[in-house]
A and B are shown apart, each in its own frame.
Chain A
Amino acid sequence: MRLAGLAAAALLALLGPAHGQARDTLTVGITQFPATLHPMIDSMAAKTYVLHMARRPLTTYDKDWKLVCLLCVELPTFENGGARRVPLPDGKEGAEVTFRLPADAKWGDGTPVVAKDAILAWEVGKHPRSGVASGEGYRRILKVEARDEKTIVFTNDRVTFSYNDFSQFDLLPDHIERARFEADPETYRRRTAFDTDTTNPALYNGPYRIVAVQPGASIALETNPHWHGAKPHFRRIVVRVVENTAALEANLLSGSIDYVAGELGFTLDQALALEKRQGQRFDFNYVPSLLYEHIDLNQDVPAFKDRRVRQALLHAADREGLVRQLFEGKQPVARAFVNPRDSIFAADTPVYAFDLAKAQALLAEAGYDRVVDGIRQNAAGERLSFEFGTTAGNRIRETVQQVLQSQWRRAGIEVRIRNEPARVYFGETLRQRRFQMAMYAWFSSPESVPRTTLHSESIPTEANGWAGQNQPGIRSAAMDADIDAVERELDPAARKVIWARMQKLYAEEAWVLPLYYRSDPFVVPKWLAGIEPTGHQYYSSLRVEHWRPR
């Protein structure tokens, strides 16, 4: 197999187009097909990846994780007068944010992008029966007005530091979608042009527009003649879906696919193996992302109520060694829930170095000072033995699990692996907090407030219908207060102090065992340039117009 791969590489290197040769089509491989192409209904990585090429939100985070203006003339701030505090009818204070759309921004049919497109998006987003998955962001907007054709005024129901972040606010073409929505909001999701007339150019305001869809297989995009920004280099981009990553690799090597998207392509171990065989043919770029891999400790488990036991688990785990051995150091060890690339990362967040002696001392201090059959127990005979679950079939997670199991065993802690299919694991076990230790990952945006994951109001219970994502069951008045405070703090310096306090508290309390930040492996042919991996949920495809042959 390896010989075959090498032979193929040599052959294809001979047959492949020479550097500088004109290429007008780029074929990108991803592993998922979007079920719907409506930007607001359902959230799916593949849909976001494709739509980023064809549509532009008002704002986004760039590759340096800074909020920037995208479909606007200037990012509105309190400082430049684009935003201001306003009194609300209920006596509270809100934020009025004014966006000016680019004068030459047009939909793919030549119709100008105007303020009423934003008004329609808001109406759809906040409508309880429209089928939009996450309506909270739209409901927080009290009013959207058109000051003129190109000026939109949003009134937010509160003043938060993210008052001008409209990265998830997607405009809808009023001239196409309003009639469909108003006819019956409840069935709008089935009649939207995004799914019934997908190749209608009027749905797209980005550098490309969708021109063909093969359900389950591929989506073809061509340049949008009415795009107001920099002219894209490729006339046509075909996004092909190959769910099996071994087949994806074969497609890449055979030339059926030019480039595999880092965000939705190879697993890290597969990319590392491919690099060893094909390093001369492709550029391999491993970009740490906001996918935070961690282990939740259920705070209802008696042993986990003791902070020393939780900290001992961290000291007994050689996470640096694990990352070095399994991932060749390409995935940075996490200290807390904030990625080191994020501007709010606190460098003084406590680090738990691998220290077996310290782990054993902490466990002895916590009362687990007897060792029977290699497992520590306390005076009451309670053993340090826990169930440890993750998604069955996820090879990387299962390997990590086994490494940790053997490391903890040396500290006298037994973990019994109990994995389940993703559907059962996420759908019931995790959601209903029926676990002791659970390994999985979170994906968020830069400077994301962890209200749903760390605030005590977000603990899933039967009474609240198992809603919320605070699965470990963290109940901390200090954390709650900081989450409430950080959201309303507008001064970046003061906010950074709160963020640092939250990271320190999170690390010290060790409610959750941080593992590492996953890296997206970008496998780019040598002839392709301009791809800027971001590492967050606003993918590299949002800058598709800069992709070019070398």
Chain B
Amino acid sequence: MIRHAGARALQGLLVLFAASFAIYMLLGLMPGDPIDLMASGNPNITPEDVQRLRELHGLDRPLAARYADWLFALLQGDLGYSRIFSKPILATVGPYLANTAWLMLASFVLALAIGLPLGLLAASRRGGWLDAAINGFAFVSAAVPTFWLGLLLIVLFAVVLGWLPASALPPPGADGFWARAQALILPVATLALVEAGEYARHMRAAASEALAQDWIRTARAKGASPSRVLWGHVLRNALIPVATVAALGFGGLFSGALVTETIFAYPGMGKLIYDAILASDFNLALACLLMAALLVIMANFAADLVYAALDPRIGFSRGGGDEP
């Protein structure tokens, strides 16, 4: 186990290093630099100002040299400053990271709580009307654009019914726990409804396959109740492929909730990454994207652990687990 964790950590570091290099170079190769963009909107900026600012922000130096400096500073634990926010990276990212954590965790848990039972139910009623209805939900959920669903929920629950706020963050001074929780309902529901369909489809497929196995027939022959078969035997085995999908989905939520964040005026990591890239804020964009990569790596590692917990045949020793 420790050896496996060590190997995955090393792999993760290599991936992060490669990702940092690729991201830095891609950012550097984007057309226009931040000072040009600033000058394009301000007719009062003189050529001397442009040159001075470029030097001040180190943008007149070769890209490779800037990357080397960044890497050297990182190895000393210094993530640097955000150019656009004029703040240390961690201080800049902190509030956005906390917001994203709330949104991610809540929508992830809700999506699993909706998707997994629905998938299991559909598999157990295969071919029936319930299966068709759940399949229909899964396809609609996959097909509905997030921005449309978000706006629809806002119009319905905030504008027409007036039950919930339209923004995902209450204003300062009214931001206690309940106010925050209430404000998060709509964005969480938007993300969860979109994700839940995917989990339901995967769970249905995996559970259908499990239901056709000999050991399920054996369990039934031994007198296990249908619910015992479903929840005790099928679920555990069907969760293994679903864990992979969930791990990838969890990582994607970190930076991929941009549309939801924009619709609900919620300052999260997706929006921060988007702004940092557009403004060529190298330090900020790198830090955010590397956090996203790190989260995907960690989610995959967590999925490995889940596999082992779900199926004792899967181990971490060299050569895999015991043969059945």
Is B223 among interface residues, defined by CB-CB distance under 8 A?
no
* B95 / chain A contacts, CB cutoff of 8 Å: 214-216
* A212 / chain B contacts, CB cutoff of 8 Å: 172-173
Is B225 among interface residues, defined by CB-CB distance under 8 A?
no
Asked if A423 and B44 make an inter-chain contact with CB atoms under 8 angstroms apart, the answer reads: no
- The smallest beta-carbon distance between B117 and chain A, in angstroms, is 32
Say which one of A61-69, A313-321, A345-353, A425-433 lies at the interface with B. A425-433
Asked if A244 and B160 make an inter-chain contact with CB atoms under 8 angstroms apart, the answer reads: no
Complex CA gap A12/B155 in Å reads 13
* B31 / chain A contacts, CB cutoff of 8 Å: 423-424, 427-428
A residues 121-142 in Cβ contact with B at 8 Å: 128-129, 131, 133-137
On whether A426 and B41 interact (CB within 8 A), knowing A12-B162, A133-B53, A244-B262, the answer reads: yes
Asked if A36 and B85 make an inter-chain contact with CB atoms under 8 angstroms apart, the answer reads: yes
Contact of B86 among A1, A190, A236 (CB under 8 A): A190
Highest count of chain B CB atoms <10 Å: which of A135, A186, A427? A427
* A244 / chain B contacts, CB cutoff of 8 Å: 147, 262-263, 265
- Per-position contact with A for B60-89: 1 when CB-CB < 8 Å, else 0? 000000000000000000000100111110
Asked if A247 and B43 make an inter-chain contact with CB atoms under 8 angstroms apart, the answer reads: no
Asked if B32 and A427 make an inter-chain contact with CB atoms under 8 angstroms apart, the answer reads: yes
- Per-position contact with A for B154-196: 1 when CB-CB < 8 Å, else 0? 1110111010011101011101000000000000000000000
Contact of A190 among B38, B39, B44, B87 (CB under 8 A): B87
- The smallest beta-carbon distance between A479 and chain B, in angstroms, is 16
Complex CA gap A468/B43 in Å reads 8
* A192 / chain B contacts, CB cutoff of 8 Å: 86
Is A452 among interface residues, defined by CB-CB distance under 8 A?
yes
Is A78 among interface residues, defined by CB-CB distance under 8 A?
no
* A186 / chain B contacts, CB cutoff of 8 Å: 56
Is A240 among interface residues, defined by CB-CB distance under 8 A?
yes
Contact of A452 among B41, B44, B160, B167 (CB under 8 A): B44
Asked if A217 and B39 make an inter-chain contact with CB atoms under 8 angstroms apart, the answer reads: no
* A392 / chain B contacts, CB cutoff of 8 Å: none
Say which one of A95-103, A249-257, A279-287, A521-529 lies at the interface with B. A249-257
Asked if A250 and B166 make an inter-chain contact with CB atoms under 8 angstroms apart, the answer reads: yes
Asked if B167 and A242 make an inter-chain contact with CB atoms under 8 angstroms apart, the answer reads: yes
The bracket for how many chain B residues form the interface is 35 or more
Is A11 among interface residues, defined by CB-CB distance under 8 A?
yes
- Per-position contact with B for A31-70: 1 when CB-CB < 8 Å, else 0? 0010110100111000000000000000000000000000
Asked if A135 and B49 make an inter-chain contact with CB atoms under 8 angstroms apart, the answer reads: yes
- The smallest beta-carbon distance between B44 and chain A, in angstroms, is 5
On whether A465 and B265 interact (CB within 8 A), knowing A12-B162, A133-B42, A195-B85, the answer reads: no
On whether A430 and B40 interact (CB within 8 A), knowing A129-B56, A216-B271, A465-B51, the answer reads: yes
Contact of A136 among B38, B46, B81, B165 (CB under 8 A): B46
* B47 / chain A contacts, CB cutoff of 8 Å: 464-465, 467-468
A427: nearest chain-B partner, CB-CB: B32
Complex CA gap A251/B37 in Å reads 31
Is B36 among interface residues, defined by CB-CB distance under 8 A?
yes
Asked if B52 and A135 make an inter-chain contact with CB atoms under 8 angstroms apart, the answer reads: yes
Is B309 among interface residues, defined by CB-CB distance under 8 A?
no
Is A220 among interface residues, defined by CB-CB distance under 8 A?
yes
A458: nearest chain-B partner, CB-CB: B47
A431: nearest chain-B partner, CB-CB: B36
On whether A8 and B171 interact (CB within 8 A), knowing A36-B86, A256-B166, A427-B36, the answer reads: no
Contact of A467 among B50, B158, B171 (CB under 8 A): B50
- The smallest beta-carbon distance between B179 and chain A, in angstroms, is 12
Is B134 among interface residues, defined by CB-CB distance under 8 A?
no
- The smallest beta-carbon distance between B138 and chain A, in angstroms, is 26
Asked if A466 and B96 make an inter-chain contact with CB atoms under 8 angstroms apart, the answer reads: no
* A260 / chain B contacts, CB cutoff of 8 Å: none
Highest count of chain B CB atoms <10 Å: which of A35, A42, A43, A217? A217
Number of A-B contacts (CB under 8 A): 198
Is B282 among interface residues, defined by CB-CB distance under 8 A?
no
The bracket for how many chain A residues form the interface is 35 or more
Is B30 among interface residues, defined by CB-CB distance under 8 A?
yes
Is B278 among interface residues, defined by CB-CB distance under 8 A?
yes
Contact of A424 among B32, B155, B165 (CB under 8 A): B32
- The smallest beta-carbon distance between B46 and chain A, in angstroms, is 5
Is B307 among interface residues, defined by CB-CB distance under 8 A?
no
* B87 / chain A contacts, CB cutoff of 8 Å: 190, 195-196
Complex CA gap A173/B266 in Å reads 33
Is A275 among interface residues, defined by CB-CB distance under 8 A?
no
On whether A190 and B263 interact (CB within 8 A), knowing A212-B173, A431-B36, the answer reads: no
Is A502 among interface residues, defined by CB-CB distance under 8 A?
no
Asked if B42 and A240 make an inter-chain contact with CB atoms under 8 angstroms apart, the answer reads: no
Complex CA gap A466/B33 in Å reads 12
Asked if A134 and B165 make an inter-chain contact with CB atoms under 8 angstroms apart, the answer reads: no
Is A340 among interface residues, defined by CB-CB distance under 8 A?
no
Asked if A444 and B43 make an inter-chain contact with CB atoms under 8 angstroms apart, the answer reads: yes
* B162 / chain A contacts, CB cutoff of 8 Å: 8, 11-12, 15, 254-255
A residues 198-227 in Cβ contact with B at 8 Å: 211-218, 220
Asked if A423 and B32 make an inter-chain contact with CB atoms under 8 angstroms apart, the answer reads: yes
* A241 / chain B contacts, CB cutoff of 8 Å: 265
* B172 / chain A contacts, CB cutoff of 8 Å: 211-214, 218, 220, 238
Other than the given A214-B169, A247-B264, 15 more pairs (CB < 8 A) read A15-B162, A133-B42, A133-B45, A133-B53, A136-B46, A216-B267, A242-B167, A256-B158, A423-B278, A426-B37, A427-B32, A427-B37, A430-B40, A431-B40, A452-B43
Q: List 24 A-B contacts (CB under 8 A).
A: A1-B155, A7-B160, A43-B41, A133-B38, A135-B48, A137-B44, A214-B172, A215-B92, A217-B167, A217-B169, A244-B265, A247-B151, A247-B154, A247-B262, A251-B167, A254-B154, A254-B158, A254-B162, A426-B32, A426-B36, A427-B37, A431-B32, A444-B43, A453-B43
Interface of A toward B, CB cutoff 8 Å: 1, 4-5, 7-8, 11-12, 15, 27, 33, 35-36, 38, 41-43, 128-129, 131, 133-137, 186, 189-190, 192, 195-196, 211-218, 220, 236, 238, 240-244, 246-247, 250-251, 253-256, 423-424, 426-428, 430-431, 442-444, 448, 450, 452-453, 464-469
Across the A-B interface, give the 7 residue pairs with the lowest CB-CB distance, nearest first: A427-B32, A216-B267, A467-B47, A212-B172, A426-B40, A254-B158, A8-B159
